[in-house]
Chain A
Amino acid sequence: MIVIRSFILIVLCSILLACGEQSTENTEQKTKPYGANKVVTTVAPPDAKKIYDLNCLPCHAEGPGHAGTMRLARRLGEDKSVLTQRDDLNADYVKIVVRQGFSLMPPFRPTEISDSELNALAEYLAAK
């Protein structure tokens, strides 16, 4: 998850270097990168829209084929079915739903969306 990759490249490199010198209680072990042409993901800083796009949009986008939008349309009506078009969401409510889950939506763990990312996401949706 891009938003959770709160590493910077330097940290990644140091981790990779460290991976080359793993030791256990009994033996010195060496690991190596797989293959050649190593490509390492770089990480964008936390960004509420990116958090939303990665975690929420696949189910809450506008139009058919989106489970969350479909569910909200049934429960609250078409005019409240698309999260980013709602003006009645408050940040605390968003945070509770994300962490606890709601109806068919499973909860999201702090390893998926950290507390600071959740704050940003909640403010983003509440400000719509």
Chain B
Amino acid sequence: MTTKPLPDSLSLEQFNQAIGELREILGPERVYTDDVNELRSYRDVYSTTADKLHLPSAAIAPESVEEIQKVLVVARKYVIPLWTISTGKNLAYGGAAPRKSGYIVLDLKRMNRIIEVNEKYGYAVVEPGVSYFDLYNYLQERNSKLWIDPAAPGWGSVLGNMSEHGAGYTPYGDHLLMNCGMQVVLADGTVVDTGMGSSAESNTANLYKYGHGPWVEGLFTQSNVGIITKIGIWLMPEPPGYRPYMVTFPKEEDLFQLTEIAGPLRLNMLIPNAATIVGLIWEASATTTKNQYYQGKGAMPMSARQKMADDLKIGMWNFYGALYGPPPMMDNNWKILEEAFRSIPGAKFYFEGDRPGDPAFDYRAKLMRGVPSMTEFGIMNWVGSGAHIDFAPRSPVTGEDAMHQFTMIRDRANEYGFDYIGEFLIGFRELLDVFMLVFDRTDEEEMVRAHECFGKLIDDHTAAGYGEYRTHLDFMDKVAGTYDWNDGALWKLHHRIKDTLDPDGILSPGKQGIWPKRMRQG
């Protein structure tokens, strides 16, 4: 018989009392305590550790700010950790599961109103439960001329992805940069509208980010000192023209020159969107699986990879970008881009219509114009029952750094028997390397191996000067420990803020390695 996980220091009797009070607030239908029929849906089915480390004691689903305030009164009274999620699709980083077993998940999926869409000024105001699909469908139904900027899986939360510092693929791909206006409920129940929105009569709450005084929005992202209940997000007006393109490159070493070329073009905005350099297997996984080309153990050898590349007419690297604007402008920009990319021997160029029936090109073309899909989830098919966690370091946009990261990850992954499944997103001044560690979670030994591999990757990159911008629940403390300059001054600051704004330590303890005083080690 299994024992129900409970919040630390709470007896079953106290827990049941608290649940009773939460049911008084939310009604029995929005308080979930059935471990099998309800709470198993809050597991992280992709983690490299056992489910039992991240099982909630309950989940609750408020539908308004007022209900959150009332829930907080109960949480403070019983000192219950509340783990906040939005759509719960932060998959590869923990999904809907809490940092530690016993927490109550504060599930904001039912706060799913699209409060405003401003067609003239190009923004939307949304609650946490609004997914990219929701916002896209809403705009389409109203013939809006505004685009969204979705993360690759369309079921993600607009608010949640922004607050995790997520990225998309249109020119609005830096989601935190596109946030303007935020409403936060603090641990004591105080409701704060940030920036210009803090002025009662403001008409620029979603137009100008900074207001007067300190700019505080960042404090509430990847954080646990408040509950974000509403954000403004800028939406890109549909441009007069759009042309997605793909350029394939035949050799792994081409990454060096490609990055050297693409970096300055991005910085100077000839490449205006968050363009991507997609690795072979990431690209191939939209249409094929590993065992179609390799049935052996361990990482796929180069001979099989080359055959797959040849069969699918893709490169070891596949560059996706898009042109936006009036046709003459796109024509002129393309001349420069084409000449630059053509300097790499073997480069091949593709536009819309050149790759009929290729789902990889299709979903990339959609993403770069803000159409959400779930095609990228096909990567999970690469191995049998594919689970995955993502490793996401940042580096400068140079060929040397790109190759250094790529070879470090590839070699370490191969050493542990995993394939390199990666892509690089090109920001203005940084490369975001996303390595998807795909493994079979039904194989316990492989799960352990994946966990060890991930830890080594963090060590390797820390030693080389590359920091991770986001990580899975199981590695939050480890990554936080790499931000250690000056005796860990930054995390000490985070803890001082945490202790001040959430003295009871009830909001998402351990998020990003930020713990309340009562739970800090040492």
Shortest C-beta distance, A6 to chain B (Å), equals: 9
Give the residue of B95, B117, B378 whose beta carbon is less than 8 angstroms from that of A106.
B95
Residues of chain A within 8 A of B411, CB atoms compared: none
* Total A-B residue contacts, Cβ distance less than 8 Å: 166
Q: Does B407 contact A (CB under 8 A)?
A: no
Give the residue of B230, B232, B377 whose beta carbon is less than 8 angstroms from that of A59.
B377
Q: Does A99 contact B (CB under 8 A)?
A: yes
Give the dominant DSSP class at A's interface: loop
CB-CB contacts of A5-42 with B at 8 A, as 1s and 0s?
A: 10100001001001100101111011111111111110
Give the residue of A5, A27, A71, A106 whose beta carbon is less than 8 angstroms from that of B112.
A5
* B137/A2 in contact, CB under 8 A: yes
* B113/A58 in contact, CB under 8 A: no
Give the residue of A32, A41, A108 whose beta carbon is less than 8 angstroms from that of B113.
A41
In the bound assembly, the distance between CA atoms of A101 and B88 in angstroms comes to 14
Residues of chain A within 8 A of B287, CB atoms compared: 64
Give the residue of B87, B189, B205, B363 whose beta carbon is less than 8 angstroms from that of A24.
B189
Q: Does A90 contact B (CB under 8 A)?
A: no
Shortest C-beta distance, B182 to chain A (Å), equals: 10
Q: Does B110 contact A (CB under 8 A)?
A: yes
Give the residue of B41, B63, B96 whose beta carbon is less than 8 angstroms from that of A99.
B41
- Given the known inter-chain contacts A19-B65, A104-B380, A110-B38, please indicate yes or no for A40 contacting B112, CB distance below 8 A: no
Give the residue of A22, A67, A109 whose beta carbon is less than 8 angstroms from that of B88.
A109
In this complex, the interface size class of chain A, counting residues with CB under 8 Å from chain B, is: 35 or more
Q: Does B462 contact A (CB under 8 A)?
A: no
B residues 250-299 in Cβ contact with A at 8 Å: 286-287, 289
Which chain B residue lies CB-closest to A57? B374
Give the residue of A22, A34, A36, A65 whose beta carbon is less than 8 angstroms from that of B375.
A65
Give the residue of B61, B115, B387 whose beta carbon is less than 8 angstroms from that of A111.
B61
Shortest C-beta distance, B240 to chain A (Å), equals: 25
- Given the known inter-chain contacts A35-B118, A99-B40, A99-B41, please indicate yes or no for A1 contacting B131, CB distance below 8 A: yes
Q: A12-B113, A110-B61 are in contact. List 15 more A-B contacts (CB 8 A).
A: A1-B109, A1-B129, A15-B63, A18-B66, A25-B73, A37-B118, A64-B359, A65-B373, A71-B380, A103-B385, A104-B380, A107-B41, A111-B61, A111-B88, A112-B87
What 6 A-B pairs have minimum CB-CB distances, sorted nearest first? A65-B359, A104-B380, A58-B374, A111-B109, A107-B41, A67-B377
